[in-house]
Chain A
Amino acid sequence: MDLKDLYHEIIVDHNRRPRNFRRIENPTRVSEGYNPLCGDKLKLYVVEKDGVIEDVAFEGSGCAISMASASLLTERLKGKPAEEAETLFGQMHDLLTGKGEDIDTEALGKLAALEGVKAYPSRVKCATLCWHTLHAALQGEDLATTE
């Protein structure tokens, strides 16, 4: 196994300089995610209007995989319909748990850089934490854990 598959340069970059790493003052939805295994913690802010994610940002601390995954999520979803978030969540989940044969990784774009995580089962939750948290936010729940 090559570590570079896990720590793809996109992941290293997003961990060093997370995008949309900030607080949103008046979010329409907010949720906190916690991964008890690693202690990864993040808070996701969403401004949703008429079914569209107008703004999305996060704060928190965690390993490179969880930080980069959250950063990539915000970059990808800003300005997109909320429905797309749910579809992507399902695709990311399949990709990371190795059930992603049918997934069009090209359509996933930069998110596909996380694919290397599937070879490290203990780290999958690090990558999915932000997706669980977004899902909880969109459902109107204020807490998500990977347990």
Chain B
Amino acid sequence: MSTAPEKLSESDSPLDLSAIRADFPILDQTVQDKALCYLDNAATAQKPRQVIDAVAEYYRRDNANIHRGVHTLAERATAAYESARERMADFINASATEELIFLRGTTEAINLVAQSWARPRLEPGDEILVTELDHHSNIVPWQLVCEQTGATLRAVEVNERGELDLESFEALISRRPRLFAVGHVSNALGTINPVKHLVERAHAFGVPVLVDGAQATPHMAVDVQALGCDFYAFSGHKMYGPTGIGALWSRKELLTEMPPCQGGGEMIKMVSIERSVWNDVPHKFEAGTPNIAGAIGLAAAADYMESIGLDAIGDWEHRLLEHATRRLSETPGVTLIGTAEQKAAVVSFVVDGVHPHDLGTILDSEGVAIRAGHHCAMPLMEKLGLPATARASMAFYNTLEEIDTLADALVRARELLA
């Protein structure tokens, strides 16, 4: 238990935490008779009332199919969907609204780039470069396209702190792979990769870069123009928005060149049995009726985050990370996994004598929700020589007291099993 009795007052927070927590109805409940302590935000974040209401309001008042009705509801729904696009393009500072494609999430976005951009370009002997830190959804789509084309997948190594090994990166990028795909923030360890630098180096070799931003948009202001990348993918549900909605951003020239991946309504201008004429970007990639309510909810999540302030969110999450790092490293038997200098509010750890899955069950009995497992990053776990870790991932609505609850529960887990 903590020896240095630092004052754990929430008044230290730049945020009005009790007002913020009141916006998240789900946080106010007990689990197994204990107050819920939700520390599994990297899996999915909770949703504020503002998001839930935006979705409900849409279904209550505006629901209609978009882009093809002339009646009032269709016009309202279309306007709401397209203004959500504008909102999200602005959120990541895209230079044009039509550069943002609404998809199901990061996974679908990466698969789209793999199949529509990479597949026609790849030949046997070509390489695609990823990293050992990446999530399966930024590895497997590339494996598939490599199998389809005879190209080879390579991965930048990570060091023992869980950072990308820049020498390994230099060696591999100088081989001029056809594309470099890299996570902005690691979901398993929290490492924030130096994306801007990586993009500069990749471009120096003429290599385009896709960034998996699933774990970045919840925690920091993202500016795709400043990053300089060519593709950016993210998911709504990780950033306090609904599930089933996310986006791919890319530059208009690239998107215009890419053939669509799925055919259907919405993505065409004209269809005859002989041939069809594709619709313009972004509609070309949005075949079928999209997740209209999801897009509207996602825009509401972006509004909510900005109303709190992305800098304030970052500052408070950094405090949470520091506190969690200190409390967990002081807890006997706990070893932190991933000690990168630049980290988001994620702590991965193992506990001597207690398997991560037992930990997950034991912590649940204390109301504490964490994740245990390989975090969809089996190559990373293999590299670290661990079958699994436990992971606590924080959001701006978490408190220092919740981290204390976690640390105290770890002590009890060891008493029980170790």
Residues of A bordering B, CB below 8 Å: 1, 3, 6-7, 12, 15-16, 37-41, 61-65, 67, 120, 123, 126
Structural contact, B374 and A39, CB atoms closer than 8 A: yes
Extra contacts besides A39-B381, A39-B387, A62-B387 (8): CB < 8 Å? A1-B365, A7-B416, A16-B353, A38-B373, A39-B373, A65-B358, A67-B355, A120-B361
- 3 smallest beta-carbon distances between A and B, as pairs: A63-B355, A63-B357, A39-B387
Contacts of B358 in A (CB 8 A): 7, 63-65
Contacts of A15 in B (CB 8 A): 417
Structural contact, B387 and A7, CB atoms closer than 8 A: no
Interface residues of B in 345-363 (CB under 8 A from A): 353-358, 361-362
Structural contact, B387 and A61, CB atoms closer than 8 A: yes
Q: Kindly state whether residue B388 has any CB partner on chain A within 8 Å.
A: yes
Structural contact, B416 and A12, CB atoms closer than 8 A: yes
Q: How far is the CA of A43 from the CA of B348 in the complex (A)?
A: 28
Contact with A along B380-404 (1 / 0, CB 8 A): 0100000110000000000000000
Q: Kindly state whether residue B342 has any CB partner on chain A within 8 Å.
A: no
Q: How far is the CB of A99 from chain B (nearest CB, A)?
A: 22
The count of chain B contact residues (Cβ–Cβ below 8 Å) is 18
Cβ-neighbour of B365 out of A3, A12, A62 (below 8 A):
A3
Q: How far is the CA of A6 from the CA of B373 in the complex (A)?
A: 20
Residue of B nearest to A62 (CB): B355
Q: How far is the CA of A15 from the CA of B374 in the complex (A)?
A: 21
Contacts of B416 in A (CB 8 A): 3, 7, 12
Contacts of B361 in A (CB 8 A): 3, 6, 120, 123
Residue of B nearest to A37 (CB): B373
Contacts of B225 in A (CB 8 A): none
Q: How far is the CA of A120 from the CA of B362 in the complex (A)?
A: 11
Count the A-B residue pairs with Cβ separation under 8 angstroms: how many?
45
Q: How far is the CA of A16 from the CA of B354 in the complex (A)?
A: 10
Residue of A nearest to B366 (CB): A3
Structural contact, A38 and B388, CB atoms closer than 8 A: yes
- Most chain A CB within a 10 A radius of its CB, from B353, B361, B372: B361
- Most chain B CB within a 10 A radius of its CB, from A39, A41, A61: A39
Structural contact, B387 and A126, CB atoms closer than 8 A: no
Q: How far is the CB of A79 from chain B (nearest CB, A)?
A: 30
Contacts of A61 in B (CB 8 A): 387
Residue of B nearest to A122 (CB): B361
Contacts of B417 in A (CB 8 A): 7, 12, 15, 64
Cβ-neighbour of B388 out of A7, A39, A67, A126 (below 8 A):
A39
Contacts of B362 in A (CB 8 A): 3, 7
Q: How far is the CB of A14 from chain B (nearest CB, A)?
A: 12
Q: How far is the CB of A44 from chain B (nearest CB, A)?
A: 18
Residue of B nearest to A123 (CB): B361
Residue of B nearest to A39 (CB): B387
Contacts of A16 in B (CB 8 A): 353
Q: How far is the CA of A29 from the CA of B365 in the complex (A)?
A: 40
Q: How far is the CA of A51 from the CA of B220 in the complex (A)?
A: 64
* Interchain residue pairs with CB less than 8 A apart (21): A1-B365, A3-B361, A3-B416, A7-B362, A12-B416, A12-B417, A15-B417, A38-B355, A38-B372, A38-B373, A39-B387, A62-B387, A63-B358, A64-B354, A64-B358, A64-B417, A65-B358, A120-B361, A123-B357, A123-B361, A126-B357
Structural contact, A41 and B387, CB atoms closer than 8 A: yes
Q: How far is the CB of A15 from chain B (nearest CB, A)?
A: 7
Q: With contacts A3-B362, A3-B365, A7-B417 known, is A38 near B32, CB below 8 A?
A: no
Q: How far is the CB of B373 from chain A (nearest CB, A)?
A: 7
Contacts of B387 in A (CB 8 A): 39, 41, 61-62
